[in-house]
Amino acid sequence: MGKMTSIVGKRVPRVDALDKATGAAKFTADIHLPGLLIGKIKRSPHAHACIVHIDTSRAAQLPGVKALLTWEDVPHTLHAGQPEPRASSLVRDQYILTDKACFQGDGVAAVAAVSEDIAEEALELITVEYDVLPAVFDAEQALQPGAPSIHGTERNLVIPPVIIETGDIGSGFAEADFIFEGRYVTSRHVPAFMEPYVCICRPEPGGKLTVWSSTQAPFMVRGSLSEVLGIPMNLIRVLSEHMGGGFGAKQDLYQLEYLTVLLARRTGRPVKMEYSRAETFIAGRSRHPVVVELKQGAKRDGTLTARRPLYRQFWRLWLARSWHHLDRFADAELFAQVSKRAHRGAVRLHQFPDCRSLPGLRCPAGLFRPGDSDG
Protein backbone atom coordinates (compact mmCIF):
# COMPACT_ATOMS: atom_id res chain seq x y z
CA MET A 1 0.00 0.00 0.00
CA GLY A 2 2.96 2.28 0.52
CA LYS A 3 4.21 1.87 -3.01
CA MET A 4 4.68 5.17 -4.83
CA THR A 5 2.61 5.72 -7.96
CA SER A 6 3.45 7.70 -11.04
CA ILE A 7 -0.07 8.87 -11.90
CA VAL A 8 -2.54 8.38 -9.02
CA GLY A 9 -2.44 11.31 -6.63
CA LYS A 10 -0.21 13.37 -8.92
CA ARG A 11 -0.97 16.52 -10.92
CA VAL A 12 -1.07 15.42 -14.55
CA PRO A 13 -1.30 17.97 -17.37
CA ARG A 14 -4.26 17.59 -19.73
CA VAL A 15 -3.13 16.10 -23.01
CA ASP A 16 -4.95 18.84 -24.95
CA ALA A 17 -4.08 21.73 -22.65
CA LEU A 18 -1.32 23.26 -24.79
CA ASP A 19 -3.29 23.10 -28.04
CA LYS A 20 -6.35 24.70 -26.46
CA ALA A 21 -4.36 27.37 -24.63
CA THR A 22 -2.48 28.38 -27.78
CA GLY A 23 -5.47 28.17 -30.13
CA ALA A 24 -3.94 25.33 -32.14
CA ALA A 25 -6.82 22.94 -31.34
CA LYS A 26 -9.13 22.39 -34.29
CA PHE A 27 -12.82 22.19 -33.48
CA THR A 28 -15.33 20.93 -36.03
CA ALA A 29 -16.35 24.49 -36.86
CA ASP A 30 -12.68 25.30 -37.66
CA ILE A 31 -12.30 22.63 -40.34
CA HIS A 32 -12.21 23.79 -43.97
CA LEU A 33 -11.93 21.35 -46.89
CA PRO A 34 -11.36 21.90 -50.62
CA GLY A 35 -14.66 22.28 -52.47
CA LEU A 36 -16.60 22.65 -49.20
CA LEU A 37 -20.32 23.43 -49.60
CA ILE A 38 -22.48 25.09 -46.95
CA GLY A 39 -25.72 23.45 -45.87
CA LYS A 40 -28.76 25.22 -44.41
CA ILE A 41 -32.22 24.12 -43.24
CA LYS A 42 -35.53 25.83 -44.02
CA ARG A 43 -37.71 25.73 -40.93
CA SER A 44 -41.42 25.91 -40.33
CA PRO A 45 -42.69 29.20 -38.86
CA HIS A 46 -45.68 27.33 -37.42
CA ALA A 47 -45.83 25.11 -34.35
CA HIS A 48 -48.24 22.64 -35.96
CA ALA A 49 -48.91 22.56 -39.69
CA CYS A 50 -49.10 20.23 -42.67
CA ILE A 51 -47.30 21.06 -45.89
CA VAL A 52 -49.82 21.46 -48.71
CA HIS A 53 -47.24 22.33 -51.36
CA ILE A 54 -43.52 23.10 -51.46
CA ASP A 55 -41.81 24.72 -54.47
CA THR A 56 -38.01 24.62 -54.76
CA SER A 57 -37.78 25.55 -58.46
CA ARG A 58 -36.61 29.16 -57.97
CA ALA A 59 -34.02 28.10 -55.41
CA ALA A 60 -32.72 25.39 -57.76
CA GLN A 61 -32.08 28.00 -60.48
CA LEU A 62 -30.02 30.24 -58.19
CA PRO A 63 -26.34 30.18 -59.28
CA GLY A 64 -24.22 28.43 -56.67
CA VAL A 65 -26.92 26.10 -55.38
CA LYS A 66 -25.73 22.50 -55.73
CA ALA A 67 -28.46 20.44 -54.03
CA LEU A 68 -31.94 20.74 -52.56
CA LEU A 69 -33.81 18.27 -50.35
CA THR A 70 -37.39 18.06 -49.12
CA TRP A 71 -39.13 15.33 -47.17
CA GLU A 72 -39.76 13.52 -50.47
CA ASP A 73 -35.99 13.20 -51.09
CA VAL A 74 -34.93 11.67 -47.75
CA PRO A 75 -35.72 8.40 -45.96
CA HIS A 76 -39.11 8.78 -44.27
CA THR A 77 -38.00 6.76 -41.28
CA LEU A 78 -39.04 7.49 -37.72
CA HIS A 79 -36.06 7.59 -35.40
CA ALA A 80 -35.15 8.56 -31.83
CA GLY A 81 -31.86 10.29 -32.60
CA GLN A 82 -29.95 7.42 -31.04
CA PRO A 83 -29.11 3.92 -32.27
CA GLU A 84 -29.93 0.55 -30.80
CA PRO A 85 -29.75 -0.66 -28.09
CA ARG A 86 -30.26 2.75 -26.49
CA ALA A 87 -33.12 3.63 -28.84
CA SER A 88 -35.14 0.68 -27.52
CA SER A 89 -36.06 2.72 -24.43
CA LEU A 90 -37.02 5.81 -26.43
CA VAL A 91 -39.94 6.82 -28.64
CA ARG A 92 -39.19 7.03 -32.35
CA ASP A 93 -40.95 10.27 -33.19
CA GLN A 94 -38.59 12.25 -35.45
CA TYR A 95 -38.12 12.54 -39.19
CA ILE A 96 -35.08 13.86 -41.04
CA LEU A 97 -37.38 16.28 -42.89
CA THR A 98 -41.11 16.37 -42.37
CA ASP A 99 -44.30 17.15 -44.26
CA LYS A 100 -45.99 17.91 -40.93
CA ALA A 101 -44.29 20.43 -38.67
CA CYS A 102 -44.61 19.56 -35.00
CA PHE A 103 -42.86 22.60 -33.54
CA GLN A 104 -41.86 26.06 -34.68
CA GLY A 105 -38.47 25.45 -36.31
CA ASP A 106 -39.10 21.92 -37.58
CA GLY A 107 -37.05 21.34 -40.73
CA VAL A 108 -38.98 21.11 -44.01
CA ALA A 109 -36.21 21.52 -46.61
CA ALA A 110 -32.42 21.71 -46.90
CA VAL A 111 -29.98 23.27 -49.35
CA ALA A 112 -26.27 23.01 -50.14
CA ALA A 113 -24.54 25.95 -51.85
CA VAL A 114 -21.08 27.32 -52.50
CA SER A 115 -21.43 30.01 -49.81
CA GLU A 116 -23.48 30.75 -46.72
CA ASP A 117 -25.03 33.84 -48.33
CA ILE A 118 -26.21 31.87 -51.37
CA ALA A 119 -27.55 29.10 -49.14
CA GLU A 120 -29.52 31.63 -47.09
CA GLU A 121 -30.87 33.26 -50.25
CA ALA A 122 -31.92 29.86 -51.57
CA LEU A 123 -33.93 29.22 -48.40
CA GLU A 124 -35.81 32.46 -49.00
CA LEU A 125 -36.65 31.33 -52.55
CA ILE A 126 -38.25 28.09 -51.35
CA THR A 127 -41.98 28.67 -51.00
CA VAL A 128 -44.09 26.51 -48.72
CA GLU A 129 -47.88 26.49 -48.46
CA TYR A 130 -49.04 25.33 -45.01
CA ASP A 131 -52.32 24.12 -43.59
CA VAL A 132 -51.93 25.55 -40.08
CA LEU A 133 -53.37 23.27 -37.39
CA PRO A 134 -54.35 23.91 -33.75
CA ALA A 135 -51.41 23.51 -31.38
CA VAL A 136 -50.71 22.89 -27.72
CA PHE A 137 -47.78 24.46 -25.90
CA ASP A 138 -47.48 22.72 -22.55
CA ALA A 139 -48.08 19.31 -21.02
CA GLU A 140 -51.14 20.27 -19.00
CA GLN A 141 -52.83 21.80 -22.05
CA ALA A 142 -52.07 18.67 -24.08
CA LEU A 143 -53.88 16.52 -21.50
CA GLN A 144 -57.07 18.56 -21.47
CA PRO A 145 -60.22 17.00 -22.97
CA GLY A 146 -60.64 18.21 -26.52
CA ALA A 147 -56.99 19.25 -26.89
CA PRO A 148 -55.66 19.10 -30.47
CA SER A 149 -54.26 15.68 -31.35
CA ILE A 150 -50.65 16.12 -32.33
CA HIS A 151 -49.68 12.60 -33.40
CA GLY A 152 -53.03 10.84 -33.45
CA THR A 153 -52.61 9.23 -30.03
CA GLU A 154 -55.24 9.22 -27.29
CA ARG A 155 -54.92 12.37 -25.16
CA ASN A 156 -51.52 12.97 -26.77
CA LEU A 157 -50.04 10.11 -24.74
CA VAL A 158 -46.95 8.46 -26.18
CA ILE A 159 -47.14 5.38 -23.96
CA PRO A 160 -50.12 3.79 -22.21
CA PRO A 161 -50.39 4.11 -18.43
CA VAL A 162 -48.37 1.52 -16.53
CA ILE A 163 -49.26 0.64 -12.93
CA ILE A 164 -46.74 -0.85 -10.48
CA GLU A 165 -48.20 -1.15 -6.99
CA THR A 166 -46.25 -1.71 -3.78
CA GLY A 167 -47.30 -0.74 -0.27
CA ASP A 168 -50.39 1.04 1.01
CA ILE A 169 -50.36 4.73 0.13
CA GLY A 170 -53.63 5.32 1.99
CA SER A 171 -52.24 3.98 5.26
CA GLY A 172 -49.11 6.05 4.81
CA PHE A 173 -51.08 9.27 4.62
CA ALA A 174 -53.41 8.13 7.44
CA GLU A 175 -50.40 7.71 9.76
CA ALA A 176 -49.10 11.17 8.98
CA ASP A 177 -49.43 14.02 11.49
CA PHE A 178 -48.92 16.54 8.72
CA ILE A 179 -49.78 16.61 5.02
CA PHE A 180 -47.86 18.94 2.71
CA GLU A 181 -48.90 19.64 -0.87
CA GLY A 182 -47.21 21.85 -3.44
CA ARG A 183 -46.94 22.54 -7.13
CA TYR A 184 -43.53 23.22 -8.69
CA VAL A 185 -42.67 24.30 -12.23
CA THR A 186 -39.32 24.27 -14.03
CA SER A 187 -38.59 25.94 -17.35
CA ARG A 188 -36.89 24.62 -20.48
CA HIS A 189 -33.13 24.94 -20.00
CA VAL A 190 -30.81 25.09 -23.00
CA PRO A 191 -27.04 24.58 -22.57
CA ALA A 192 -25.48 27.59 -24.28
CA PHE A 193 -22.23 25.90 -25.28
CA MET A 194 -19.62 28.02 -27.08
CA GLU A 195 -19.49 25.84 -30.19
CA PRO A 196 -22.97 25.33 -31.69
CA TYR A 197 -24.12 22.14 -33.38
CA VAL A 198 -21.92 21.61 -36.43
CA CYS A 199 -21.21 18.71 -38.77
CA ILE A 200 -19.07 18.14 -41.87
CA CYS A 201 -19.31 15.16 -44.19
CA ARG A 202 -16.80 14.28 -46.94
CA PRO A 203 -17.58 11.49 -49.42
CA GLU A 204 -14.70 9.07 -49.90
CA PRO A 205 -13.93 6.50 -52.63
CA GLY A 206 -15.86 3.25 -52.40
CA GLY A 207 -18.95 4.87 -50.91
CA LYS A 208 -17.22 5.60 -47.62
CA LEU A 209 -17.92 8.72 -45.56
CA THR A 210 -15.79 10.75 -43.17
CA VAL A 211 -17.91 12.75 -40.73
CA TRP A 212 -16.66 15.43 -38.36
CA SER A 213 -19.20 16.27 -35.67
CA SER A 214 -19.27 18.37 -32.51
CA THR A 215 -20.58 15.43 -30.54
CA GLN A 216 -20.10 13.78 -27.17
CA ALA A 217 -20.79 10.35 -28.65
CA PRO A 218 -19.10 9.62 -32.02
CA PHE A 219 -20.14 5.96 -31.97
CA MET A 220 -23.79 6.93 -31.45
CA VAL A 221 -23.56 9.29 -34.42
CA ARG A 222 -22.13 6.49 -36.56
CA GLY A 223 -24.74 3.99 -35.36
CA SER A 224 -27.69 6.29 -35.92
CA LEU A 225 -26.49 7.39 -39.37
CA SER A 226 -26.18 3.74 -40.34
CA GLU A 227 -29.63 2.74 -39.02
CA VAL A 228 -31.63 5.69 -40.34
CA LEU A 229 -29.89 6.17 -43.71
CA GLY A 230 -29.28 2.47 -44.41
CA ILE A 231 -25.52 2.85 -44.81
CA PRO A 232 -23.32 -0.04 -43.62
CA MET A 233 -21.59 1.04 -40.43
CA ASN A 234 -18.14 0.02 -41.71
CA LEU A 235 -18.43 2.72 -44.39
CA ILE A 236 -18.87 5.53 -41.85
CA ARG A 237 -16.01 7.12 -39.94
CA VAL A 238 -16.89 9.77 -37.32
CA LEU A 239 -14.28 12.14 -35.86
CA SER A 240 -14.62 14.49 -32.90
CA GLU A 241 -11.18 15.63 -31.80
CA HIS A 242 -12.29 18.68 -29.81
CA MET A 243 -15.76 19.85 -28.76
CA GLY A 244 -16.67 23.34 -27.62
CA GLY A 245 -19.06 22.25 -24.88
CA GLY A 246 -21.94 19.80 -24.85
CA PHE A 247 -23.28 19.27 -21.32
CA GLY A 248 -25.35 16.27 -22.42
CA ALA A 249 -27.12 18.02 -25.32
CA LYS A 250 -24.70 16.65 -27.94
CA GLN A 251 -25.28 12.96 -27.31
CA ASP A 252 -27.94 12.36 -29.94
CA LEU A 253 -28.98 13.48 -33.41
CA TYR A 254 -31.95 15.37 -34.77
CA GLN A 255 -31.58 16.70 -38.34
CA LEU A 256 -28.09 18.14 -38.72
CA GLU A 257 -25.92 15.05 -39.23
CA TYR A 258 -28.42 13.19 -41.43
CA LEU A 259 -28.87 16.14 -43.78
CA THR A 260 -25.14 16.86 -43.98
CA VAL A 261 -24.51 13.26 -45.07
CA LEU A 262 -27.38 13.24 -47.56
CA LEU A 263 -26.29 16.53 -49.13
CA ALA A 264 -22.68 15.32 -49.38
CA ARG A 265 -23.77 12.11 -51.08
CA ARG A 266 -26.07 14.02 -53.44
CA THR A 267 -23.33 16.47 -54.54
CA GLY A 268 -20.24 14.27 -54.22
CA ARG A 269 -18.58 17.15 -52.35
CA PRO A 270 -17.89 17.86 -48.66
CA VAL A 271 -20.73 19.70 -46.94
CA LYS A 272 -20.65 21.68 -43.71
CA MET A 273 -23.74 22.56 -41.72
CA GLU A 274 -23.50 24.75 -38.63
CA TYR A 275 -26.44 25.96 -36.56
CA SER A 276 -26.72 29.63 -35.72
CA ARG A 277 -27.11 30.55 -32.08
CA ALA A 278 -30.84 31.00 -32.64
CA GLU A 279 -31.09 27.51 -34.16
CA THR A 280 -29.45 25.92 -31.12
CA PHE A 281 -32.38 27.26 -29.09
CA ILE A 282 -35.26 26.45 -31.46
CA ALA A 283 -34.01 23.16 -32.92
CA GLY A 284 -31.42 21.80 -30.47
CA ARG A 285 -31.68 19.71 -27.35
CA SER A 286 -32.81 21.04 -23.98
CA ARG A 287 -33.81 19.86 -20.54
CA HIS A 288 -37.46 18.92 -20.18
CA PRO A 289 -39.74 21.54 -18.64
CA VAL A 290 -41.56 19.83 -15.76
CA VAL A 291 -44.65 20.43 -13.65
CA VAL A 292 -44.48 18.55 -10.33
CA GLU A 293 -47.46 18.15 -8.00
CA LEU A 294 -46.12 16.74 -4.73
CA LYS A 295 -48.08 15.43 -1.76
CA GLN A 296 -46.15 14.22 1.29
CA GLY A 297 -47.09 12.86 4.69
CA ALA A 298 -44.83 13.14 7.75
CA LYS A 299 -44.87 12.39 11.46
CA ARG A 300 -43.99 14.95 14.11
CA ASP A 301 -40.46 13.55 14.44
CA GLY A 302 -39.81 14.19 10.74
CA THR A 303 -40.34 10.63 9.50
CA LEU A 304 -41.91 10.56 6.07
CA THR A 305 -44.83 8.16 5.86
CA ALA A 306 -45.89 8.66 2.24
CA ARG A 307 -44.98 10.61 -0.85
CA ARG A 308 -46.99 10.95 -4.04
CA PRO A 309 -45.40 13.04 -6.80
CA LEU A 310 -47.04 13.62 -10.17
CA TYR A 311 -44.57 14.56 -12.89
CA ARG A 312 -45.64 16.00 -16.24
CA GLN A 313 -42.68 16.40 -18.55
CA PHE A 314 -42.98 18.11 -21.91
CA TRP A 315 -40.93 17.49 -25.07
CA ARG A 316 -41.90 19.63 -28.06
CA LEU A 317 -45.42 18.48 -28.92
CA TRP A 318 -45.25 14.90 -27.64
CA LEU A 319 -46.62 13.92 -24.26
CA ALA A 320 -46.34 10.66 -22.40
CA ARG A 321 -47.63 9.81 -18.97
CA SER A 322 -47.20 6.73 -16.81
CA TRP A 323 -48.26 5.78 -13.31
CA HIS A 324 -46.20 3.89 -10.77
CA HIS A 325 -46.68 2.79 -7.20
CA LEU A 326 -43.19 2.42 -5.73
CA ASP A 327 -41.47 1.70 -2.47
CA ARG A 328 -38.04 3.10 -1.60
CA PHE A 329 -36.24 0.28 -3.40
CA ALA A 330 -38.22 0.33 -6.65
CA ASP A 331 -37.21 1.78 -9.99
CA ALA A 332 -39.57 3.01 -12.67
CA GLU A 333 -39.73 1.30 -16.03
CA LEU A 334 -37.14 2.73 -18.41
CA PHE A 335 -39.31 4.81 -20.71
CA ALA A 336 -36.84 7.68 -20.52
CA GLN A 337 -33.76 8.28 -18.40
CA VAL A 338 -35.06 11.63 -17.18
CA SER A 339 -38.26 10.13 -15.80
CA LYS A 340 -36.34 7.30 -14.18
CA ARG A 341 -34.10 9.74 -12.32
CA ALA A 342 -37.07 11.86 -11.30
CA HIS A 343 -38.60 8.75 -9.70
CA ARG A 344 -35.45 7.84 -7.85
CA GLY A 345 -34.90 11.37 -6.61
CA ALA A 346 -38.44 11.48 -5.27
CA VAL A 347 -38.51 8.13 -3.48
CA ARG A 348 -34.93 7.89 -2.17
CA LEU A 349 -34.59 11.17 -0.34
CA HIS A 350 -35.87 9.62 2.89
CA GLN A 351 -36.54 6.21 4.38
CA PHE A 352 -40.26 5.46 4.44
CA PRO A 353 -42.37 2.38 3.80
CA ASP A 354 -45.03 3.62 1.38
CA CYS A 355 -44.73 5.78 -1.65
CA ARG A 356 -46.60 6.35 -4.84
CA SER A 357 -44.95 8.09 -7.75
CA LEU A 358 -47.04 9.32 -10.66
CA PRO A 359 -44.60 10.55 -13.31
CA GLY A 360 -45.44 12.35 -16.51
CA LEU A 361 -42.85 12.29 -19.31
CA ARG A 362 -42.32 13.01 -22.97
CA CYS A 363 -40.04 11.30 -25.41
CA PRO A 364 -36.58 12.62 -24.58
CA ALA A 365 -35.72 16.23 -25.23
CA GLY A 366 -32.11 15.34 -24.52
CA LEU A 367 -29.64 15.07 -21.70
CA PHE A 368 -28.38 18.00 -19.66
CA ARG A 369 -25.95 17.62 -16.78
CA PRO A 370 -25.74 15.53 -14.62
CA GLY A 371 -26.76 13.36 -17.59
CA ASP A 372 -26.13 9.67 -16.97
CA SER A 373 -24.77 10.11 -13.44
CA ASP A 374 -26.58 7.88 -11.00
CA GLY A 375 -26.25 10.13 -7.96
- What one-character-per-residue DSSP string does 121-177 give? HHHHH-EEEEEE-----SHHHHHSTTPPPSSS-GGGBSS-------S-HHHHHHT-S
pLDDT of res. 231? 97
Identify the CATH class of 139-188+286-361. alpha beta
Q: What CATH number is given for 29-133+191-282 in this structure?
A: 3.90.1170.50
pLDDT of res. 315? 53
Q: Comparing 326 with 353, which gets the higher pLDDT? A: 353
Q: Give me the mean pLDDT over the 77-86 stretch.
A: 79
Cis? peptide before 191, omega within 30° of 0: no
Q: Which of 20, 371, 1, 41 is nearest to 198 (CA)?
A: 41
Provide CB contacts within 8 A for 270, sequence distance 6+: 33, 34, 35, 36, 37, 200, 201, 202, 203, 264
The 3-state DSSP class for residue 203 equals strand
Convert the pLDDT of each residue in 229-239 to its tens digit.
999 999 999 99
Query: Other C-beta atoms within 10 Å of 129: how many?
Result: 11
pLDDT of res. 326? 26
Confidence band of 307 (pLDDT split at 50, 70, 90):
confident
Specify the DSSP element, H or E, that contains 342: helix 337-347
**pTM summary value:** 0.81
Q: In the predicted model, is pLDDT for residue 190 greater than 60?
A: yes
- Percentage of the chain beyond pLDDT 90 is 48
Q: In the predicted model, is pLDDT for residue 349 greater than 90?
A: no
Q: Residues of CATH 3.30.365.10 domain(s) within the chain?
A: 139-188+286-361
Highest mean pLDDT of the ranges 115-119, 245-249, 322-326 = 115-119
Q: Residues of CATH 3.90.1170.50 domain(s) within the chain?
A: 29-133+191-282
Tell me the pLDDT of the chain averaged across its residues: 81
pLDDT of res. 366? 54
| Distance between CA atoms of residues 14 and 354, nearest Å | 48
Distances (CA, A) of 114 to 30, 70, 127, 242, 272: 17, 19, 21, 26, 10
Give rounded-to-5 percent helix, strand, coil for the chain.
25, 25, 50
Residue type, 309: P
Confidence band of 171 (pLDDT split at 50, 70, 90):
confident
Q: Give me the mean pLDDT over the 22-43 stretch.
A: 96
pLDDT of res. 85? 73
